[in-house]
Structure 1
Amino acid sequence: MSSPLTFQDKHVLIVDDNPINRTLAAAFTKRLGITSDQAADGATALALIAANRYDAVLLDISMPGMSGEEVLARIRSDAVFGSLPVIAYTAHALPDEKQGLLAAGFDDLLIKPVTMGAMEAVLASVLTG
């Protein structure tokens, strides 16, 4: 695994309608030395992305209102933010679901329930290439 120094000065957005999932992801990112912001829905996430500089987004798929896939489509269609790394933060773990999410444009997947090791591995992959 990479050292937390790899993540120095990194800033991620955690988007999930479940406050427990957001809190857990924020605790893991903090342990890795990553600053995080949180959003409970897609509209808030898009507003935060427009107002801040993020190195990556952890994006839940199943949210009321705007799904994670719709949020991703809006991010990808924006000339300024289109290349922002977006990680599907989801319980959708069947092989065809994983392939569909990657085909939709997600950079990687983080399957719930999340472990510290899985969080570190996915963020290392996305944030350090």
Structure 2
Amino acid sequence: MSTVLLAEDDPDIRHLVSAKLLRSGFDVIETADGAEALAAIRRRRPDLVLIDLRMPRLEGLEVLRELRADPGTARLPVIVLTARTRGLDAQLGYAAGATDYIVKPFSPRELVRRVEDVLTRAGSP
């Protein structure tokens, strides 16, 4: 079973995504901000990170940059899950090292499919 760390400050979205991933057979670690996400990743490295861009304490792009700068997490798959829809936002996400970029609102089924695709490309179980 693959472990997904979910970093999302909106409790409703966090619950929706977590429930869908759990029903799809994933183990989910929930965090509500960027600093909490980094701490959780250091405690227990997940197979994939789903991260919002706008979060308290530490924004998603900063978390992504820190992950890419650390040799232990540099290749960790990260999917950005955000309401930022401008093309420039996606470019910034990919430039910071995002593996994929999903815009809210999203289809929960499509989210799971993309998580599975990224994990398959990364060679995770």
Correspondence for 2:2:
10
Any runs of at least 4 consecutive aligned residues in structure 1 with deviations exceeding 4 A, and if so which?
A: none
Q: Does 1:90 align with 2:108?
A: no
Q: Which runs of 5+ in 2 are unaligned?
A: none
Correspondence for 2:97:
105
Where 1:54 maps in the other structure, the secondary structure is coil
Where 1:57 maps in the other structure, the secondary structure is strand
Number of residue-to-residue matches in the alignment: 121
TM-score by length of 2: 0.91
1:13 maps to a residue whose letter is L
Correspondence for 1:56:
48
Q: Which runs of 5+ in 1 are unaligned?
A: 1-8
TM-score by length of 1: 0.88
Instruction: Percent identity, please.
Output: 38
Shift of 1:114: 2.4
Shift of 1:77: 0.8
2:106 maps to a residue whose letter is V
1:78 maps to a residue whose letter is D
Cα RMSD of the aligned pairs, angstroms, is 1.1
1:99 maps to a residue whose letter is Q
